Amino acid sequence: MDRHRVLFVCAGNICRSPLAEGIFRHLVAQAGRSAEFEINSAGTGGWHQGERPDRRSIAVAAGHGIDISGQRARRIEPADFGRFDLILAMDQDNLKNLRKAAPADALGRLHLFNALARGDNRDVPDPYYGDREDFEAVYTMLLAGCMALLPKVGKVLRGS
């Protein structure tokens, strides 16, 4: 069985993309499909490499029964463009940065998270300078997107 390799990307890999990784991993496990997926996250910048997710992301995830405290921030690497089938940017700025860094043969793997998951071009807002409510709102948006994404992944990768 082929594994679907999905990478979620935001700026620093401490707020949005770790939440998306945790939520998607949780939904995949609930569906009994963990063996089908490799799920990870990264940032376009390396400011927080090696750090745990933002404490507010950890707290929001934990409040919904998801533990992301073991994740560590990392910067996207050139090898990621060949390793992952889907690379999902949380916003247009990060998508633009990914497109600049990606080799030509990987451009088709890059997508705006909400565009692929929910069919709209809305950015997932960065809650870093916000409060708990901003993190909850991002969690809700990511949950809806990940729920919509899960049944689509195989179809997207097969081009159907």
Active-site choice (5, 16, 25, 74): 16
Active-site choice (54, 80, 91, 126): 126
Active-site choice (5, 10, 74, 146): 10
HEC string of 23-64 equals: HHHHHHHHCCCHHHEEEEEEECCCCCCCCCCCHHHHHHHHHC
Is 16 annotated in the active site? yes
Is 126 annotated in the active site? yes
DSSP alpha helix (H) spans, 37-131: 55-63, 80-83, 92-101, 113-118
Burial annotation 27-62 (CB, 10 A radius, 16+ → b, else e):
bbeeeeeeeebebbbbbbbeebeeebbbebbbebbe
Q: Which of 13, 1, 15, 153 is nearest to 85 (CA)?
A: 153
- Nearest-angstrom CA–CA distance, 9 and 18: 8
Catalytic residues: 10, 16, 126
